[in-house]
Amino acid sequence: MSKKKAVTERRFRGITIPTKSHPAIRRIRRQGIEPSIHGDKFWGSSCLLIDYLHNNPPEHSKRVLDVGCGWGLAGIWCARELGSKVTSVDADADVFPYLQAAADINGVSTKQLVSRFEKLNKRTLAKYDMLIAADVCFWDDLVDPVSNLVNRAVSAGVKQILIADPERSPFFDVAERAMKRHCAEIVEWKTRSPIKSEGAILVVENA
């Protein structure tokens, strides 16, 4: 019986998403580079963001901040499909070789910034039209930092903030705070093909 060939990449809404079996990803792993803050793979909530933006083209997307980016696929999609200038932010510097590989595969580039949520001040946030994030509410300890980031982004004039999540309880805590203070809503979202994912997106409008 022949051995089933490993899937090395998948296509979604115009971009190529490498899997752990992709030669470029395997090359990085062989170098011993292993992200430590859950940035060791592509997370499905990025597909929620991509699909939402595909179906709801943003008015303000010239400068995009992809926070807690991991492999950065949502930001890469914005760079490729919207022509955005993207800054990819993560607290773990070891995610960036994986992000760079994914960006190279898709023929785009993003600016890379190592930073925690708390370090993104209003002066920095004011440079961007849109802030996106996926799977950043996975611990209770992240509720305050993420909520405060949303507050600073609104105060700094960021036009739209999108946070996607598979509906963990910390995400709803963040969303509840945002809806009390800002023009925000929770949008249920799912994708079917070629990658299935479902969850919710916190949409904050500040235009």
One DSSP character per residue, 31-46 reads TT---SSS-SS--THH
What is the rounded average pLDDT for all residues in the chain? 93
**Which strand (E) or helix (H) includes residue 165?**
strand 160-165
With beta carbons less than 8 A apart as the criterion, state whether 53 and 82 touch.
yes
Look at residue 1 and tell me whether its pLDDT is greater than 50.
no
Share of the chain above pLDDT 70, in %: 96
pLDDT at residue 43, as a whole number: 74
The domain limits of the chain are: 9-205
pLDDT band at 204 (very low <50, low <70, confident <90, very high): very high
Query: Tell me: the pLDDT tens digits for 129-172?
Result: 999 999 999 899 999 999 999 999 999 999 999 999 999 999 99
Q: 86-108: per-residue pLDDT in tens?
A: 999 999 999 999 999 999 999 99
> Count of residues for the chain?
207
The third-level CATH classification (topology) of the domain covering 9-205 is: Rossmann fold (3.40.50)
Nearest to 89 by CA among 53, 57, 60, 63: 63
Q: What is the pLDDT of residue 40?
A: 60
Does the pLDDT at position 84 exceed 70?
yes
Between 1 and 194, name the one with better pLDDT: 194
Averaged pLDDT for residues 48-75: 96
Q: How far apart are the first and last CA of the chain?
A: 59
pLDDT digits (tens, 9 = 90+) for 32-52: 998 876 556 677 899 999 999
Per-residue confidence band for 3, with pLDDT thresholds at 50, 70 and 90 = low
pTM greater than the 0.85 cutoff: yes
Ranking 1-5, 68-72, 76-80 by mean pLDDT, the lowest is 1-5
**pLDDT at res. 51:** 97
Q: Is the dihedral of CA 17, 20, 23, 25 positive or negative?
A: positive
pLDDT of residue 37: 61
